[in-house]
């Protein structure tokens, strides 16, 4: 697959802070890529560099094979939603879109198309200042889609949405990716991204710490982990830790164990010390657990 966004070795300092420290990844068309990581990981700075709003001291960022600033009609190449609050409060939603469309050489018909696509409904006639957060996000997405771009970049699009709105937005983004677009969604909230993105770029301290499929991340975090059920929790924890395992209690009679070479070894350690147990099973990590482990 041809990469739609290429970020290669970006470095950027703000005084003593290294916001980007060798950030590199590519975004493929036809899928939603979640760009996740804790606050301060460098996600917004990366997006700003990709969109030509900021300049890195080293490295390069390409959109459709070219630097953003060299694109003739950028809105036809990439649509962005960075700050849905950046609106003139007195202008109606429709006038806001008409004004943007005019600047891009698009007409009223395209405004009505994108308004329909994002389900703005009656909110299209309201003043931007009186719109709910969800309607503002819809308006921001409509604006990003005006030029019918093959690439979409969204920063924290789920913030402030209720669960129904978030589920709706996830569906819209998957639909847009299904049409062949590259959709990059930056968020601190793995819980929102996991239902939308099939692929994840996980950032930490200005660089990529993992670049993999959602299923792969869960499988990696589950590998070599076991859940042990035992009435002798303290004794089991002591002998397993003594054998070099990392052990955590997760209930009065339940432990998770990692760091031993397989289920047989866990059994062997417990049997060797005559510690009773009723069950040893492979532990399936949640995506949230896997994410916490990667970014802690
Ligand atoms: N204009 C700026 N001036 C000084 N420091 C900045 C500036 N912009 C970002 N930083 C710093 O760079 C680092 C990366 O910030 P960035 O906003 O890119 O992270 P983020 O992953 O988007 O975080 P968040 O999820 O909180 O938005 C942080 O330490 C931040 O404080």
Residue 145's CATH number: 3.40.50.300
- pLDDT reported for residue 123: 87
**Same domain, yes or no, for 195 and 229?**
no
**Any atom of ligand 1 within 6 Å of the Cβ of 43:** yes
**Same domain, yes or no, for 105 and 211?**
yes
**Same domain, yes or no, for 42 and 134?**
yes
Domain boundary among 219, 251, 286: 219
**Same domain, yes or no, for 259 and 141?**
no
**Same domain, yes or no, for 258 and 180?**
no
Ligand 1 center from residue 201 Cα (angstroms):
17
The CA–CA distances, whole Å, from 8 to 56, 68, 283 equal 11, 14, 36
Query: Tokens 């601190």 belong to which residue?
Result: 188
Ligand 1 center from residue 44 Cα (angstroms):
7
**Any atom of ligand 1 within 6 Å of the Cβ of 136:** no
**Any atom of ligand 1 within 6 Å of the Cβ of 19:** yes
- pLDDT reported for residue 3: 59
Which CATH number belongs to the domain containing residue 290 in this structure? 3.30.70
**Same domain, yes or no, for 154 and 268?**
no
pLDDT one digit per residue (tens) for the chain, 296 residues: 455 999 999 999 999 999 999 999 999 999 999 999 988 999 999 999 999 999 999 999 999 999 999 998 888 999 999 876 677 778 889 999 999 999 888 889 999 999 999 988 888 898 888 888 888 889 999 999 999 999 999 999 988 788 888 899 999 999 999 999 999 999 988 878 888 998 999 999 999 999 999 888 888 878 888 999 999 999 999 999 999 999 999 889 999 999 898 899 999 999 999 999 999 998 887 777 778 777 77
**Same domain, yes or no, for 148 and 247?**
no
**Same domain, yes or no, for 123 and 140?**
yes
**Same domain, yes or no, for 231 and 205?**
no
Structure tokens belonging to residue 203: 């950032």
**Any atom of ligand 1 within 6 Å of the Cβ of 37:** yes
**Same domain, yes or no, for 166 and 278?**
no
Ligand 1 atom nearest to 45, measured from its CA: 18
Q: Note down the domain range covering 206.
A: 5-219
48 and 83 Cβ atoms separated by less than 8 Å: no
Helix, strand, coil distribution of the chain in percent, nearest 5: 40, 30, 35
**Any atom of ligand 1 within 6 Å of the Cβ of 204:** no
**Any atom of ligand 1 within 6 Å of the Cβ of 42:** yes
**Same domain, yes or no, for 276 and 177?**
no
**Any atom of ligand 1 within 6 Å of the Cβ of 44:** yes
Instruction: Give the number of domains in the chain.
Output: 2
- pLDDT reported for residue 84: 64
Task: Specify the residue with its C-alpha closest to ligand 1, atom 17.
Answer: 44
- pLDDT reported for residue 237: 96
The CA–CA distances, whole Å, from 216 to 198, 219, 285, 291 equal 10, 5, 11, 12
- pLDDT reported for residue 1: 43
Domain boundary among 168, 195, 219: 219
199/216 Cα distance (integer angstroms): 9
245/280 Cα distance (integer angstroms): 14
The CA–CA distances, whole Å, from 276 to 161, 227, 239 equal 48, 14, 12
Ligand 1 center from residue 120 Cα (angstroms):
31
**Same domain, yes or no, for 227 and 190?**
no
238/252 Cα distance (integer angstroms): 15
By CB neighbour count within 10 A (0-12 exposed, 13-18 middle, 19+ buried), where does 69 fall?
exposed
Domain boundary among 184, 219, 254: 219
Query: Tokens 């005084």 belong to which residue?
Result: 15
Ligand 1 center from residue 42 Cα (angstroms):
6
In sequence order, which residues have a C-beta less than 8 Å from that of residue 237 and are 6 or more positions away? 247, 249, 255
Structure tokens belonging to residue 100: 């943007």
Look up the ipTM and state it: 0.96
């Amino acid at each position: 697959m041809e990469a739609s966004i290429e970020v290669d070795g970006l470095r950027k300092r703000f005084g003593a802070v290294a916001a980007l420290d060798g950030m590199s990844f590519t975004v493929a068309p036809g899928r939603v890529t979640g760009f996740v990581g804790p606050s301060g990981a460098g996600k917004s700075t990366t997006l700003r560099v990709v969109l030509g709003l900021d300049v890195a001291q080293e490295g390069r960022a390409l959109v459709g094979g070219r630097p953003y600033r060299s694109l003739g009609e950028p809105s036809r190449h990439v649509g962005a939603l960075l700050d849905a609050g950046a609106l003139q409060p007195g202008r109606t939603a429709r006038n806001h879109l008409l004004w943007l469309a005019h600047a891009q050489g698009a007409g009223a018909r395209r405004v009505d198309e994108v308004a329909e696509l994002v389900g703005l409904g009656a909110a299209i006639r309201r003043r931007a200042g009186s719109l709910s957060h969800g309607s503002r996000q819809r308006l921001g997405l409509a604006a990003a889609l005006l030029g019918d771009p093959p690439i979409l970049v969204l920063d924290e699009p789920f913030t402030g949405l209720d669960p129904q709105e978030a589920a709706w937005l996830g569906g819209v983004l998957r639909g847009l990716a299904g049409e062949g677009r590259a959709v990059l969604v930056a968020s601190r909230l793995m819980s929102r991204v996991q239902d939308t993105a099939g692929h994840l770029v996980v950032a930490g301290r200005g660089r990529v710490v993992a670049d993999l499929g959602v299923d792969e991340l869960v499988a990696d975090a589950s590998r070599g982990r076991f859940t042990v059920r035992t009435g002798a929790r303290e004794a089991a924890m002591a002998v397993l830790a003594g054998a070099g395992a990392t052990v955590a209690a997760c209930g009065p009679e339940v432990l998770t164990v990692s760091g031993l070479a397989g289920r047989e070894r866990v059994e062997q350690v417990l049997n060797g010390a005559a510690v009773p147990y009723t069950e040893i099973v492979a532990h399936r990590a949640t995506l949230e657990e896997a994410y916490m482990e990667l970014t802690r």
